[in-house]
């Protein structure tokens, strides 16, 4: 090298070769994600707790589902463009629950009387307010099937809510 000439910058080359982002960009991405988690984690944890039918105080499966879903969301955070990160995390949470629900039985939450598919439909439709067509696409069901499952599940929950009151009065 000729003395007195500035050294070339290899920052872009290193990023290209390693696939890593500059530290400031990574730090900004991390701060954005942390802000998202601060705002959304409570609601997502409640949805996961309803799905797993665990109690609000003892919900290890719900916490594991949420952690895995947030890890996936963070992994794709830099590629999100016009997509809602909450929607992405919720879809991932629902898909993970659908894949793992057969492993976990029991639960004592308010939706414990329902099966996994019924809980998914009720939580997505009634708690999260997701449109029928979106729930149908996510679960691979027809819209009519989503409506039927939701109606049957709500009827079962109403019947279960009435039953303890009658027994207590008797």
Q: Which two tokens stand for residue 105?
A: 């039985």
Q: Which two tokens stand for residue 84?
A: 């809602």
Alpha carbons within 13 A on the beta-carbon side of 137: 6
Burial class (CB in 10 A: 0-12, 13-18, 19+), 123: buried
Q: Decide: 55 and 75 in contact? Cβ < 8 Å.
A: no
Q: Which two tokens stand for residue 60?
A: 């290890």
With a pLDDT cut of 90, the percent of the chain lying above it is 52
Write out pLDDT tens, residues 64-84: 999 999 999 999 998 888 889
- Which 3 state secondary structure label does DSSP give 112? coil
Q: In sequence order, which residues have a C-beta less than 8 Å from that of residue 149 and are 6 or more positions away?
A: 117, 118, 121, 141
Which is nearest to 51 in space by CA: 67, 63, 68, 38? 63
Which pTM does this prediction carry? 0.74
Q: Decide: 109 and 54 in contact? Cβ < 8 Å.
A: yes
Q: Decide: 119 and 74 in contact? Cβ < 8 Å.
A: no
Average pLDDT over residues 130-158: 94
Write out pLDDT tens, residues 13-62: 444 445 555 678 888 888 999 999 999 999 999 999 999 988 888 889 99
pLDDT at residue 2 is higher than 90: no
pLDDT at residue 5 is higher than 60: no
Supply the DSSP symbol for 5. S
Instruction: Please provide the DSSP assignment of 27-86 as one string.
Output: HHHHHHHHHHHHHHHHHHHHHHHHHHT--SS--HHHHHHHHHHHHHHHHTGGG-SSS-HH
Average pLDDT along the chain: 83
Fold assignment, 21-169: Butyryl-CoA Dehydrogenase, subunit A; domain 3 (1.20.140)
């Amino acid at each position: 090298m000729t003395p007195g000439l500035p050294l070339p910058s290899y920052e872009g080359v290193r990023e290209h070769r390693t696939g890593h982002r500059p530290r400031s960009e990574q730090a900004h991405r991390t701060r954005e994600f942390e802000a998202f988690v601060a705002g959304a984690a409570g609601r997502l944890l409640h949805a996961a707790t309803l799905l797993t039918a665990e109690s609000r105080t003892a919900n290890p499966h719900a916490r594991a589902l949420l952690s895995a879903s947030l890890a996936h969301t963070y992994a794709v955070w830099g590629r999100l463009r016009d997509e809602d990160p909450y929607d992405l995390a919720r879809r991932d949470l629902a898909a993970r629950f659908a894949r793992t629900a057969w492993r976990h039985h029991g639960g004592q939450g308010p939706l414990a009387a329902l099966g996994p598919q019924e809980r998914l439909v009720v939580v997505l439709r009634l708690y999260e307010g997701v449109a029928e067509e979106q729930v149908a696409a996510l679960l691979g069901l027809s819209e009519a099937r989503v409506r039927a499952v939701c109606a049957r599940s709500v009827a079962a929950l109403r019947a279960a809510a009435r039953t303890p009151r009658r027994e207590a009065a008797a």
